[in-house]
Amino acid sequence: MDAKKIGAFIAAARRAHGLTQQQLAEQLGVTNRAVSKWETGQGLPDIALLPALAAALDTTTDELLAGAPAQTVCAPEPDGVDGDILAHLPGRRLTRRELDAALLVCRALPGQRTARLLLTAAGLAAAGFGVRGALQAFFDGSPTPLPVFVLLVLGVLLLAEATLSPLLAARLRRDLGRQAGGTVYADRFCSPAGGQRPLAQLARVQRFPGHTVLVWHAAPAPCAAVVPDDACTVPPQELARCLQNAAPAAYAARPAHTPRLLRPALALTLTLAALALAALALAPSLGFAGSISPTGTLLRLRRDRETGVVTDMHSGQTFAYPAVGRLKKQWLTSDCCAITYQTTDGTTHVHLAAYGDRGGGGYYYVEPLLQGAWRQYESATEPGLVLRKEPGREEIFVQNSLLTTDYRQAYTDSVQFGTLGIALCDADGLPRWTVVLGKDYDASNGVDPYGSLILCPVSMEPTEAVTLHYYSPEKQQQDKDAAQPQSTPAPAPAQSAPDAAAFSQPVDCAVRADGVYFTWDGGATCSRAVDGTAGVAGKEDLEPYLQTENAAAFLTVQRVKDTQQVWLHLTRDRGANWQHTPLATWEGVQDVARRSLGFLDDSFGWYALCTGWSMGTGRGAALGTTRDGGVTWQACAIPGESSSRLLSGVVFCDPQTAAATLCDQNEAGWPDVYITQDGAATWQRAAMPWDDETLTDAARRECLAAQDLYSLDHVCALQNADGVWLLTLAADPDGGREVVFAADDPAGPWTLQTVHGAD
């Protein structure tokens, strides 16, 4: 018996089982020095200890005495091989080069290549969606949502696994660590741990300088073994011949080379990319926001999270008011961006970030440069939007037509931003329009300015900037002279317009098959048919319908298949010119069931719309106000949280105070009453008599039974009479009984005062 061979076998088996010499000695009841002598070949175990030693090492006494595991040779041995043993894997730590070599070979397997491609595609998709969400949050100036962070982290991890394969490397490291003390035979790979892998089933064999890598298919990752040249009992060439004979399809007959993964460079690249993505995702949460113009100009903003103050990091200027919510950014020119925002009181403001000047030098005052007339289109009869500043007057007029004499949209207050633009403000100091000098603007000739102006309404909703061109006095006169012969249109045939008998009031309208006509003199004259009203069956289709001494306004609903659109038709010059404005569009919901429309004066007005409700589609609702006579409209918050109740009415007492009602669709009962005192930015539930929580359902139904009232439907009026608030509700959509409630505060509590009308 070869004592050294037996000792080496005992040592290898002990290490394969994860035992120390002390632990093995304790199991056998001997000293650790005895075990050390066995393994170094200085002695042999007592014959009585052989069964216990074989059991502890999970082997047999025959294998112990032979100093090697039992062998079964299934393949012919290559020529020149002395015995069955081809290679013995020594118990040592793998080098980085050997691990890299095994990782390269495993990654080259078809299954691993497919997995890496899928991981790369999934990582790029997740990172792409994450970057899109982060950019959207950055441009909106709102915090990055949590799902965006998840997508970014997931994308980086998937790309790291696809490029660096850290999970595969970890599995290979564990697998290769178990090969210590194993032996490669002519037909299989064996290890003292009990694993046997036939060489004929090898997936890949590849030679490297100083070692050979063997790879088998396995789940979830390939198994590998590294055979160092200095561990072979035969020359490496003989080992290569044996492996090539055992698995010719898996043998890589390519020149040996030093494995290079470039993992540090890849890891550094991924780390930098991850840091960049983290900075992008965290920027909105830290108050940073920005935008990029089509020509590459970068807008950089920073908002203080505690005070809401926004700073333009390019110029160092701060916004005039603290901002809440999102920041709407719109590039009016390539070097001027309008940032629209709302403040804590719900009002809308604008800041212009300018990055240049016009002409040879900077302009210091923009307002004087607007003198004259500027129009959107070249047509004299259809000029579109017109901006006008007459000499000697402070007002700046924004009109829909140059030829009209209606100067209702006059602005005397303006705020300049930088050297490129101003904001036109109303009487309350709120901006309504922004005016920016165009890129081609040039007033250096000192006579007529050359170039264009950019005019854009101020709103948090999507807006369209309009380009205006200078309209010289000579050109104005030419157009007026050319239009003079056509100033009096030829009278229409008598049968095309309704006569006086079609109107019942001095100020009235008539509905015919070809459209809607209006009169302000009892039918002596009437307007042409209003565009977009052909097919209206009767006056009920126009409700709510408003007509005053010189103006008229009404709503129509146009439906095409599943899409319905509500239009506002408005005139302020007795039908000479009509403004047609789309207020709301819905798809797949029921028909519009409730409509409200009103004006407090020539400037402030409102509308409220609501469709019917169904289980599958819900309802559609819209509410908006205007402060410029209906030229532009701003969407407002919808009162109430329940989507199953209809917005049955809205009335304003003043531009800041209004009441709204929500009612059930098909059931009689009491409405929910809401009050706003900030221009419909927020709504508060009002305390009505039937809202008492101490009432039972029966008592709530009977709370106004003494006045023979069992249901109300919608709000009709809200007034402030010498400090006492009066709220009028109607008993049904057509009017009927009107009930007046009184309160010291709009939020209530409201108490019944009077009842008007019969059942």
676-706 pLDDT, tens digit per residue, is: 999 999 999 999 988 887 888 888 888 888 8
Are the C-beta atoms of residues 10 and 21 closer than 8 Å to each other? no
- Identify the weakest region by mean pLDDT among 345-349, 616-620, 724-728: 616-620
Amino acid at 121: A
What pLDDT does 79 receive?
Answer: 42
Distance CA 503, CA 497 (A): 12
Q: Say what angle helices 146-164 and 166-177 make with each other, to 10 degrees.
A: 50
Query: What are φ and ψ of residue 567, in 5° steps?
Result: -115, 145
Distance CA 397, CA 406 (A): 10
> What's the mean per-residue pLDDT of the chain?
81
- Residue 430, pLDDT > 70, answer yes
CA angle 599, 649, 613 (to 5 degrees): 135
What pLDDT does 560 receive?
Answer: 80
Among candidate residues 657, 689, 662, 658, the one with its CA nearest the CA of residue 673: 662
Look at 284 and 64; give whichever has higher pLDDT.
64
Which pLDDT band, with edges at 50, 70 and 90, does 181 fall under? Answer: low
- Residue 265, pLDDT > 70, answer yes
Q: Residue 453 forms beta bridges with which residues? A: 437, 468
Domains of the chain: 3-70 (1.10.260.40), 96-252 (no CATH), 287-479 (no CATH), 497-588 (no CATH), 595-759 (2.115.10.20)
Q: What average pLDDT does range 153-169 have in this prediction?
A: 88
What pLDDT does 423 receive?
Answer: 92
Q: Residue 717 forms beta bridges with which residues? A: 728
Which pLDDT band, with edges at 50, 70 and 90, does 256 fall under? Answer: low
Q: State the alpha helices, DSSP H only, in 195-303.
A: 236-246, 263-285
What pLDDT does 408 receive?
Answer: 55
What pLDDT does 77 receive?
Answer: 41
Among candidate residues 363, 365, 385, the one with its CA nearest the CA of residue 442: 363
Which pLDDT band, with edges at 50, 70 and 90, does 379 fall under? Answer: confident
Which pLDDT band, with edges at 50, 70 and 90, does 63 fall under? Answer: confident
Look at 387 and 365; give whichever has higher pLDDT.
387
What pLDDT does 180 receive?
Answer: 58
Are the C-beta atoms of residues 167 and 221 closer than 8 Å to each other? yes
Q: Which two tokens stand for residue 42?
A: 């200085």
What pLDDT does 259 receive?
Answer: 65
Q: What average pLDDT does range 377-387 have in this prediction?
A: 79
Beta strands in 178-235 (DSSP E): 183-185, 188-190, 196-198, 202-208, 211-216, 223-228
Distances (CA, A) of 295 to 112, 291, 299, 303: 44, 11, 12, 25
Output Rg (C-alpha) for the chain, integer angstroms: 43
What pLDDT does 179 receive?
Answer: 66
Distance CA 644, CA 593 (A): 13
Exposure of 382 by Cβ count < 10 A (0-12 exposed, 13-18 middle, 19+ buried)? exposed
- Residue 28, pLDDT > 70, answer yes
Say how many C-beta atoms besides its own lie within 10 A of residue 370's C-beta: 21
What pLDDT does 257 receive?
Answer: 66
Which pLDDT band, with edges at 50, 70 and 90, does 95 fall under? Answer: confident
Q: What average pLDDT does range 700-718 have in this prediction?
A: 85
Which pLDDT band, with edges at 50, 70 and 90, does 369 fall under? Answer: confident
* Sign of the C-alpha dihedral computed for residues 358, 359, 362 and 366 taken in this order: negative
Residues with Cβ within 8 Å of 115's Cβ and at least 6 positions away in sequence, in order, are none
- Identify the weakest region by mean pLDDT among 113-117, 187-191, 427-431, 485-489: 485-489
Distance CA 333, CA 355 (A): 10
Q: What is the 3-state secondary structure (H, E, C) of 587-627?
A: ECCCCEEEEEEEECCCCCEEEEEEECCECCCECCEEEEEEC
Are the C-beta atoms of residues 164 and 154 closer than 8 Å to each other? no
Distance CA 81, CA 104 (A): 30
Q: What average pLDDT does range 437-458 have in this prediction?
A: 76
- Residue 494, pLDDT > 70, answer no
- Residue 593, pLDDT > 80, answer yes
Are the C-beta atoms of residues 613 and 590 closer than 8 Å to each other? yes
Distance CA 54, CA 64 (A): 7
Distance CA 593, CA 666 (A): 12
- Residue 497, pLDDT > 90, answer no
Q: Which two tokens stand for residue 543?
A: 């409700």
The residue written with tokens 């390939």 in the block is 222
